[in-house]
A and B are shown apart, each in its own frame.
Chain A
Amino acid sequence: MGSVVAAIMTMGAIGLFFSVIISVAYQKLKVEVDPRVEEILDVLPGANCGACGYPGCANYADAIVKGAPVNRCSVGGMEVAEAIARIMGVSAEPMVRKVARVRCRGDRERAVWISEYVGIQSCAAAHLAAGGGKLCNYGCLGFGDCERACPFGAIRVNERGVAEVDENVCIGCGLCVQTCPRGIITLEPVDKRVLVFCVSQDSGKVAKKACKVACIGCGLCAKKSPDAIVVENNCARVVDADKVTDESIEKCPTGAIVRLGSRN
C-alpha cells in the first residue's frame, strides 16, 4: 500500500514538474497564429482529400489567409466558398464543377482479351505484368484501383468490367486520376457533355483490332466539327463540347465519341 501512494506521488511530482516547464515554455515560445485560420478550418469539410491542391484542410486554411483563392474546395462547393469568403472579407468566384471521366469503354465484350491474368488483382500490378491480358495497352483493366482510391464511392467497376463514374457523387478530388496506372481518367467540367471515350494512341488498324469502340484517329469527327475536336497521336479529343455537331457523333465509325445524356 505504501508503494502505491509513493508511486502516485512520484508520478504526480514528475508530471507537475514538467507541466510547469511546458507551460512556461508555451508562453515564451508562442507562435502568432491568425485567428481566421481556426474559423476557416471550422467551415472546411475536413475530408483532407487534397482536391484543393493542398495536402489537407489545415494547409489550405493556412494558404487562404495568405491569399489563396477561396473557391478551391470541391467537397464543400459554393456553400463553403461563400462562408470562407465571408471570413476573409472577399467575394467568392463561381466554381466550375469538375468530375472524373473514365475515357475507356472497352469492356469484356467490346475489347479483345488475349490471355488470362493470374496475379495480384490490381491495375497497377497487371499493367506492369505485360498489360494484364488486354490486347489494348491503353485500355481500362477493371481491377478497381480507382474504386479503392475514391474516398466518396463515386467510381465503380461496372458489371461489364470497366470503371464508371457517378457524376452525382464525384466531387472532382482527382485521387482516381492519380491512381490509374494508364492515365485513362481525366477531370472534365461536368457540363462538358461530349467526350471521346478512348485514349489509345495505337494506329487505326491496331486500335480497331484491339477494341470495337476504340478511337482509330480517322479524324472524321474533327472534319465535321472544326475547332471543336483535335486529333493527336491517333486519338481524338474534344476541346470545345458546345461546338461538336451531331454529324460528328453519327459519323464516327466506332462510336468512340459519345454525347452524354442530360444531367439529372
Chain B
Amino acid sequence: MEFFVIFMSALLVNNFVLSYFLGICPFVGVSNRLDSAFSMGMAVTFVMSLAAVVSWAIYNLVLVKYGLEFLEIVSFILVIASLVQLVEMFIRRMSPVLYQTLGIYLPLITTNCAILGVALLAVLKQYTFAETVVFSVGAGLGFTLAIVVMAGIREELDAADVPAPFRGAGITFITAGILALTFMGFSGLVR
C-alpha cells in the first residue's frame, strides 16, 4: 500500500513538472509534437529511474559508510551525466531520426533539475531501495504524462486562432500554467 501511495504521489499529486516546476526546459522545448514528446518522456523516465537507483546505491552503500555525505550532489551529477551519455549513444545508434528530433534537449537531460531532484528527494526522504525504484519510476511517468498532455494541447493550438501577441512562447506558458492549476486538483489525494 505504501508503494502505491508513493507512486501516485510522484505521478499526480506532486508531479515533478507541474507541482515542483522542475524539468521545465524539455517540457516546453520538446512538447510541440506528440511523438517526440513521448520519446523524450521515455528517455527521461529511463534516466530518472536508473539515476535515482544508482545514486541511492552510491549514497547509502558508499558515501554514508565512509562519512562522505557531502559528496552527495557531486557524485549524483557524475552518475546522471554518465547515464545521459549512454542514453545519447544508444539513441544515436538506434534511431538517428529521433536523435535529430530531440537535438540539443537530449544532452540537456543532464542538467535537468528534475532528475537531480528525484535522486536528492529519494535520499532525503530516506526511502528504501524498493521505495526509490517506485518513486523514480512514478516521477518519470509523471513527467511523461505532463509532457504528453502538453504536446496534445499544443498540437491542437497549432490549428487554433491564437491572437498574434500570444503566439509561440506566450500561449505555451499560459497553457502550462493552466495545466499546473488543473493538477492542483489532485492535492489531498495523498496525505
Contact with A along B56-77 (1 / 0, CB 8 A): 0010001100111011001100
Known: A3-B68, A6-B68, A10-B66. A18 touches B79 (CB 8 A): yes
CA distance A128 to B75 in the complex (A): 51
B21 within 8 A of A: no
Known: A10-B71, A11-B78, A14-B79. A29 touches B93 (CB 8 A): yes
Q: How far is the CB of B108 from chain A (nearest CB, A)?
A: 17
Which chain B positions have C-beta within 8 A of A118? none
B86 within 8 A of A: yes
A6–B66 CB distance below 8 A: yes
CA distance A26 to B85 in the complex (A): 9
Contact partner, B82, options A10, A18, A31, Cβ 8 Å: A18
CA distance A7 to B67 in the complex (A): 9
Q: How far is the CB of B160 from chain A (nearest CB, A)?
A: 19
A260 within 8 A of B: no
A128–B82 CB distance below 8 A: no
A15 within 8 A of B: yes
B79–A26 CB distance below 8 A: no
Which chain B positions have C-beta within 8 A of A95? none
Q: Interface residues of B toward A: which range?
A: 20 to 34
CA distance A76 to B180 in the complex (A): 48
Majority secondary structure of chain B interface residues (helix, strand, loop or mixed): helix
Known: A10-B62, A10-B71, A14-B58. A22 touches B78 (CB 8 A): no
Q: How far is the CB of B86 from chain A (nearest CB, A)?
A: 5
A7–B71 CB distance below 8 A: yes
Look across to chain A and name the residue whose beta carbon is closest to the beta carbon of B91.
A29
Known: A29-B92, A31-B93. A7 touches B86 (CB 8 A): no
CA distance A14 to B93 in the complex (A): 26
Q: How far is the CB of B164 from chain A (nearest CB, A)?
A: 6
B92–A31 CB distance below 8 A: yes
B177 within 8 A of A: no
Q: How far is the CB of A236 from chain B (nearest CB, A)?
A: 30
Contact partner, B86, options A6, A11, A14, A22, Cβ 8 Å: A22
Which chain A positions have C-beta within 8 A of B185? none
Contact partner, A29, options B75, B89, B165, Cβ 8 Å: B89
Which chain A positions have C-beta within 8 A of B62? 10, 14
Look across to chain A and name the residue whose beta carbon is closest to the beta carbon of B78.
A14
Which chain B positions have C-beta within 8 A of A11? 71, 74-75, 78
A1 within 8 A of B: no
Within 8 A of A (CB), among B7-50: none
Look across to chain A and name the residue whose beta carbon is closest to the beta carbon of B164.
A128
Contact with B along A17-39 (1 / 0, CB 8 A): 01001100110011100000000
- Top 8 A-B residue pairs of the complex, sorted by shortest distance between their CB atoms: A18-B82, A29-B89, A29-B93, A6-B66, A31-B92, A25-B86, A7-B68, A25-B89
17 more A-B residue pairs beyond the given contacts A3-B67, A7-B68, A30-B93, with a C-beta to C-beta distance below 8 A? A6-B66, A10-B63, A10-B71, A10-B75, A11-B75, A14-B58, A14-B75, A14-B78, A18-B78, A18-B79, A22-B86, A22-B89, A25-B86, A26-B89, A29-B89, A29-B92, A29-B93
Can you list 12 A-B pairs, Cβ within 8 angstroms, ordered by A? A6-B68, A7-B68, A7-B70, A10-B62, A10-B75, A11-B74, A11-B75, A18-B79, A21-B82, A22-B86, A29-B90, A31-B92
